[in-house]
Structure 1
């Protein structure tokens, strides 16, 4: 984020001799304008004039300290390498005297770039780029994970949510809070260039969602992102990405990515026909899916076996179903794969109709 700089006051120079002093604005609290409590006042000065301000071996700032009891500290400007930030610290009276001495050394008529206007810098908010492992809600090995489909990237490439997890009911609350925050206020943009793996708030179609930037193109000003709570990928304009508040990072990311184990498309180029998408979408709509982790890809994505509950006593093994329909073929034979016993009340199937809303994303074929 580029820190915002707000000028608090203008120069009081009359134009007659350049010797008038820009003084700090009066306190907002009545009765303490001349308080002796410590304070500070910041202004910017060009880098090329810093040496003149400090003086030989610090002679000028030392002279100011001796005369006014005000300390002058020069530090790096947060966004402009050609400027420095000068902080004057002391009582209000000491600051006024110090600014008067600075103005005498830098008459406004001769040094118009030294305005002595007070500036305030909003502290930068660091974007989240290194994500702790506990923030990801993962599929657990060795059990049937009760899941629902939240995004269909390809017939064998799914994103799933876990509606029985204790954190799941908080997702709607988080989404509403994010929409209220980012729709109503000027939230900070992401710093340029946008670093890969930065977690941010991304606007997609009708709302704001937590997302991770996978790559960013400064020429097109577009970023390729992955949605962390609903799954899927999309290209999003950088202008629609915002820094994410820390309290919006407390809920674990709800979308767990998975690739159907031991099958691949029968098409040589790896693509899937539209009918295969429709088959998976129709079977999984409003259904609980018992998901088992069989293995992992080299990138750490779970290879899964998915059993779709389509009725009180009917379960479809999705991996096998795509093979039976002629859309996929086995990569390696799966032997003795058990059909899991039902561990989820059938009433949850109806609940899942209301929890599969997801942001529209650009589908990527696995």
Structure 2
């Protein structure tokens, strides 16, 4: 009936024994409903009294804050924390509306004083104020200007909600106070912490950090993204984080890359840290999937700095081996999977400190006592690359490998014997002997340490 339809529009339930949950409707709709109260008074006096009280309450609510519901929805949509709030929306919105109104009046007065002959436009002032608020609020993450910096630090999960505040009130205050974009993202390396991102000009970032430090003095705002400087040695390898091969011992290895003829990169599958490499790579791909949220490597770049570099669609830890300022290019060496790659400086990203805990897995070495056989009529670089590909595909492939360090070259890189084995029933073979026998390599004219074949 018409009575039930009216009650269903006003309440979530029409059962007399249930506690009705009142809906808030605009004044335009409540005015239409008043016309039906007279009909209710004839058929259902009790319900008419109930509806009349509700209409009076709804009228007071709408007059006090006409835009409270829309403001609450906009604030919830703009809050990048994803956290619910239990604070009254009307109380949260009213001060902001009053402040915006005062700012609009001040701007209108300033424009009128500056241009007395021209009428001031309140709509123009409102649009300028709206653009200013959008710039202050930012987004998560924001593209930002090319001169902006990104400062990232860790915050415990228990303090994450306090930094965001109810309906994002605290984090919005930091944005408005500093002019920087501030947002919180997930930490893929530690579930007990989150990552606070501050992006903007240097001065804005400094102000934001000062506000955060004043509110949370126990926080360490030291950046987690940084270009890690490494003390240079002739091989451009970090000695504290780089795995080494034991001298003279037979070690199981995986040749993950070969280049420049006899240069090879070896991983040690029996090392305790090797099994953490897969997890590390997964975390790196996840963290660097959104490139806009990760800061680029600061300029100028120098050889020996560890960062994260792309390889196809993947990202890996790498070190700058050489810099070419005239072309704005760098030569990168991949620290876990080996190989060299030349690329623009703009491709490099800062590395997080958590990514430095795992030792670099790829050990750069060389085949001992041999050199490739090259011809005079072809490009030497092309011949060396072809030699590396042929050895890796035809002589190494899926064979089981062991290596033995016999000496170090003039840049302190190991030179090794490599032993290969195709199956459990097959004998071990020395890779250098096979290459010389195939006419692809030649021995150095120096005395050699004889190879020590692994036991079957």
Range of TM-score over shorter length: 0.5 to 0.7
**In 1, distance between residues paired with 2:280 and 2:419?**
30
CA contact (8 A) 1:154 1:277 kept: no
Matches within 5 A, 1:1-366: 12=103, 14=107, 16=109, 29=165, 79=202, 125-130=225-230, 133-184=239-290, 186-267=293-374, 272=383, 274=386, 277-312=389-424, 313-331=426-444, 332-342=446-456
How far apart in 2 are the matches of 1:217 and 1:177?
30
Q: In the alignment, is the contact (CA less than 8 A) between 1:221 and 1:238 conserved in 2? A: yes
2 CA distance for matches of 1:198 and 1:309?
38
Q: Secondary structure of 1:179's match?
A: helix
Displacement of 1:180 after TM fit?
A: 0.7
Would the alpha carbon gap of residues 86 and 175 (structure 1) be closer, same or farther in structure 2, given more than 3 Å must change?
closer
Tell me the CA shift for residue 307 of structure 1. 0.8
Name the structure where helix makes up a greater proportion of residues: 2
Distance 2:206 2:353 in 1: 28
Higher relative contact order (CA 8 A, sep 6+): 1
Structure 2 distance, partners of 1:28, 1:138, is 46
Displacement of 1:289 = 1.5
Question: TM-score, normalised on structure 2?
Answer: 0.49
How far, CA to CA, are the matches of 1:144 and 1:285 in structure 2? 20
Relative to 1, partners in 2 of residues 1:335 and 1:223: Cα closer, same or farther, differing over 3 Å? Answer: closer
- Does the 8 A contact of 1:151 with 1:158 survive in 2? yes
Q: CA deviation at 1:157?
A: 1.1
CA distance in 2, matches of 1:28, 1:124: 20
1:22-49 C-alpha deviation (Å, 9 max, x unpaired): xx99x9757xx9xxxxxxx6689xxxxx
Q: CA deviation at 1:298?
A: 1.3
Relative to structure 1, the CA distance from residue 28 to residue 297 in structure 2 (aligned partners, 3 Å threshold; closer, same or farther) is closer
Is the contact between residue 43 and residue 85 of structure 1 (CA under 8 Å) also seen in structure 2?
no
Local SS of the residue matching 1:134: coil
Deviation for aligned residue 1:221: 3.2
Q: Which digits, 9 at most, give the CA deviation of each residue in 1:81-136, with x for residues without a partner?
A: xx99789x99xxxxxxxxxxxxxxxxxxxxxxxxxxxxxx9958431121652311
Q: State the alpha-carbon separation in 2 of the partners of residues 244 and 125 from structure 1.
A: 5
- Distance in 1, matches of 2:313 and 2:205, equals 42
| Distance change (3 Å), C-alpha of 1:28 and 1:321 | closer
Aligned length: 260
Are the equivalent residues in 2 in contact too, given 1:294–1:302 (CA < 8 A)?
yes
- Comparing 197-206 with 329-338, which one deviates more in the overlay? 329-338
Deviation, structure 1 residue 168? 1.1
Q: What is the root-mean-square deviation in Å for CA atoms of aligned residues?
A: 4.0
Does structure 1 conserve the Cα–Cα contact (< 8 Å) formed by 2:406 and 2:449? no
In the superposition, the TM-score normalised over structure 1's length comes to 0.60
- Which residue is 1:47 aligned to? none
Structure 1: give runs of 5+ residues left out of the alignment.
1-8, 34-40, 45-76, 91-120, 343-366
Distance 2:362 2:206 in 1: 45
Q: Is the 8 A contact 1:223 1:236 kept in 2?
A: yes
Q: Distance in 1 between matches of 2:241 and 2:346?
A: 26
Alpha-carbon distance in structure 1 between the residues aligned to 2:256 and 2:388: 17
Give the C-alpha shift of residue 17 in structure 1: 5.8
Deviation at residue 78 of structure 1 after TM alignment: 8.0
Paired residues of 2:245 and 2:363 also in contact (CA < 8 A) = yes
How much does 1:150 deviate?
0.2
Does the residue aligned with 2:240 lie in a helix, a strand or coil?
Answer: helix
Provide the secondary structure at the position in 2 that maps to 1:242.
Answer: coil
- Tell whether the 8 Å contact from 1:159 to 1:258 is kept in structure 2 after alignment: yes
